[in-house]
Amino acid sequence: MTKNELNNWSSAIATRIADEWSGATDFPNDAKLLRVALKRMLRNDSMVVASFIGSGIIEENYFEAK
């Protein structure tokens, strides 16, 4: 996975998790904090990012569908 792909997947996964967090509507600032923290962590671990792709978290064709 290239650095660009890793950054794109990390951002998409972090956004998906933060947006679907049950408190996102009531605590939008906390959802933003969660998204930022997840992006930073995911960008440092391509194996974890790869494990999310094609899971219930994010579809394997996420970028193709857009």
Q: So what's the pLDDT on residue 35?
A: 98
Can you tell me the distance from the alpha carbon of 29 to that of 8, in angstroms, rounded to the nearest whole number?
Answer: 22
Q: So what's the pLDDT on residue 65?
A: 60
66, pLDDT greater than 80:
no
State whether residue 56 is helix, strand or coil.
coil
**Cα angle value 61/25/29 (rounded, 5°):** 95
Domain range list for the chain: 3-52
Q: What is the pLDDT of residues 10-55, one digit of tens each?
A: 999 999 999 999 999 999 999 999 999 999 999 999 999 999 999 9
Can you tell me the distance from the alpha carbon of 10 to that of 59, in angstroms, rounded to the nearest whole number?
Answer: 13
Q: So what's the pLDDT on residue 61?
A: 94
Q: So what's the pLDDT on residue 37?
A: 98
